[in-house]
């Protein structure tokens, strides 16, 4: 079933080459394929027990021990489900897209296969193939349907992240030379004696994709100039490829190196938290502001994973840190996906992201304002929403491992994030009307139908998170035990 989930969107994309398909038929195929894919993922979730499930092994390049090896566990299944939800809602959001809808839908379906395949991959070479293909898909999405300086931003995105993928490939080759295989399960069971340079290469390649400071500079322009649904996928799904790679590959396959450089990873995480929050606070462009908050939120994840490698602290604290990090990946995908879709409404109406040119939007568009407010409060970690559950576990875990100063400094990021979102809500949605406020009409049904489920899922995790944590916690404990070997 897992391979069907991975390749169903690609098969639907192939259908779009049929001649005489009208726009409505294209959208029907796109939404239908994404809905069926989500239904299959839910079936996998409900039938999941423990360990690796829905595993498939096929020979690919036996001479180097590489194969088509896929499966799901408590780390990958939540991210695959989040991916399916976000792609379906982006399809719903895009029903009004009129510019080359066939190619637009095909690119999203292609990206859905690539993203799902990466989270399911249990072979390093397969992981790398999906990792690289995601760059290609997003590049064409920004170039073809972006705005502003889309070509320049897309080129910067491609060159930056492609360079990162080449460095990542060098790291994978190092793991292969040390371990004799590309199979992830075998490399985790028998971690190779890889050098610190291998961890550096893999860490740098994944850090660019995450992105962490100082290798984050491709992110703000790519987000600013991408179409709204593209930004939602870029922030909600593609950024998780870096953090997921840290949990799936770097930590369990190089436990000694991860423990040896745990403090370096923690420092990178803290710097990303504070820099991302402060840079967001200084932005006038709403989309750039949200982009920098992604750097901030990814910093929490890096910090938590670094803390799990410390020799001090109880294993329970490390379990909490890793569980919080994985929960944060899901939460950020939902909330930031919603925020970027809402910025698309601003651009659709007023062709601007400048917060200073708006004001009093709440009077014209109360539903749009309510959605933006919930998404903003969720992103700043308000109790009752998913961000609080994730960040609370991260802070307890990080401080419990002995990284007390790092944990305390990272909490400052929450304060700054709260300030910047409240400032944004005050300037753009409340107060006196701005020069563009008159153009802001209420959110359309398709826009509400795309954003509201993301916020409801965040609310469900925030109020009753056990259904998600029961899946993540055993896998997190296993990662901690691997790192402690």
pLDDT at site 432: 82
- Residue 301 token pair: 């994840």
pLDDT at site 453: 96
DSSP letter string, 298-319:
HHHHHHHHHHTT-SSS-HHHHH
pLDDT at site 381: 87
pLDDT at site 435: 86
- Asked if residues 11 and 32 have their Cβ atoms less than 8 Å apart, the reply is no
pLDDT at site 313: 73
Write down the pTM of the prediction.
Answer: 0.94
The CA–CA distances, whole Å, from 380 to 212, 233, 342, 394 equal: 19, 20, 16, 14
pLDDT at site 438: 83
Q: List, in sequence order, every beta strand (DSSP E) within 163-229.
A: none
DSSP letter string, 242-310:
HHHHIIIIIHHHSHHHHHHTHHHHHHHHHHHHHHHHHHHHT-SBHHHHHHHHHHHHHHHHHHHHHHTT-
Query: Which residue's structure tokens are 């929960």?
Result: 327
pLDDT at site 439: 86
pLDDT at site 33: 96
Per-residue confidence in pLDDT tens, the chain, 485 aa? 899 999 999 999 999 887 778 888 999 999 999 999 999 999 999 999 888 999 999 988 888 878 899 999 999 999 999 999 999 999 999 988 778 899 999 999 999 999 999 999 999 999 999 999 999 999 999 999 998 889 999 999 999 999 999 999 999 999 999 988 999 999 999 888 877 889 999 999 999 988 899 989 999 899 889 999 999 999 999 999 999 999 999 999 999 999 999 999 999 999 999 999 999 999 999 999 999 999 999 999 999 999 999 987 788 899 999 999 999 999 999 999 999 999 999 998 989 899 888 888 988 899 999 999 999 999 988 999 999 999 999 999 999 998 999 999 999 999 999 999 999 998 888 878 888 888 888 889 999 999 999 999 999 999 999 999 999 999 999 999 999 88
d(CA 199, CA 379): 31
- Asked if residues 369 and 279 have their Cβ atoms less than 8 Å apart, the reply is no
pLDDT at site 258: 93
d(CA 41, CA 286): 33
- Asked if residues 361 and 437 have their Cβ atoms less than 8 Å apart, the reply is yes
pLDDT at site 192: 86
Q: Which of 193, 169, 172 is nearest to 183 (CA)?
A: 172
């Amino acid at each position: 079933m897992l391979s069907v989930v991975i390749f169903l969107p690609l098969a639907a994309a192939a259908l779009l080459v049929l001649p005489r398909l009208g726009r409505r038929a294209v959208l029907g195929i796109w939404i239908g394929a994404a809905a069926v894919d989500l239904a299959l993922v839910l079936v996998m979730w409900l039938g999941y027990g423990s360990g690796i499930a829905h595993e498939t092994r096929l020979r690919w390049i036996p001479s180097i021990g590489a194969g088509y090896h896929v499966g799901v566990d408590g780390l990958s299944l939540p991210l695959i489900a989040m991916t399916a939800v976000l792609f379906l809602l982006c399809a719903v959001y895009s029903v009004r897209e009129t510019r080359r809808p066939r190619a637009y839908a095909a690119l999203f379906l292609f990206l859905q296969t690539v993203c799902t395949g990466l989270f399911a991959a249990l072979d390093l070479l397969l992981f790398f193939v999906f990792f690289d293909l995601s760059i290609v898909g997003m590049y064409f999405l920004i170039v073809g349907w972006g705005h502003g300086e889309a070509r320049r931003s897309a080129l910067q995105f491609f060159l930056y992240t492609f360079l990162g993928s080449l460095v990542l490939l060098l790291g994978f080759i190092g793991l292969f030379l040390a371990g004799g295989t590309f199979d992830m399960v075998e490399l985790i069971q028998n971690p190779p004696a890889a050098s610190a340079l291998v961890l550096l290469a893999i860490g740098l390649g994944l850090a660019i994709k995450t992105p962490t400071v100082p290798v984050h500079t491709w992110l703000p322009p790519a987000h600013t100039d991408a179409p709204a649904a593209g930004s939602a996928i870029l922030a909600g799904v593609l950024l998780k490829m870096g953090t997921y790679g840290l949990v799936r590959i770097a930590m369990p396959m190089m436990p000694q190196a991860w423990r040896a450089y745990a403090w370096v990873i923690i420092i990178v995480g803290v710097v990303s938290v504070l820099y991302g929050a402060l840079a967001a606070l200084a932005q006038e462009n709403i989309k750039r502001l949200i982009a920098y908050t992604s750097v901030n939120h990814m910093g929490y994840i890096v910090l938590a994973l670094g803390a799990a490698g410390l020799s001090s602290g109880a294993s329970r604290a490390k379990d909490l840190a890793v569980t919080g990090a994985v929960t944060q990946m899901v939460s950020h995908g939902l909330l930031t996906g919603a925020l970027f879709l809402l910025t698309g409404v601003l651009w659709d109406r007023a062709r601007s992201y400048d917060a200073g040119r708006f004001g009093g939007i709440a009077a014209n568009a109360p539903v749009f304002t309510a959605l933006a407010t919930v998404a903003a409060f969720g992103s700043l970690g308000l109790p009752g929403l998913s961000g609080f559950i994730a960040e609370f576990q991260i802070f307890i875990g990080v401080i419990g491992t002995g990284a007390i100063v790092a944990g305390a400094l990272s909490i400052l990021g929450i304060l700054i994030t709260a300030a910047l979102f409240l400032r944004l809500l005050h300037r753009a949605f409340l107060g006196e009307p701005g020069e563009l406020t008159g153009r802001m009409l209420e959110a359309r049904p398709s826009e509400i139908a795309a954003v509201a489920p993301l916020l409801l899922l965040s609310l469900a995790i925030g109020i009753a998170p056990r259904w998600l944590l029961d899946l993540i916690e055993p896998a997190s404990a296993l990662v901690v035990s691997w790192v402690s070997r």
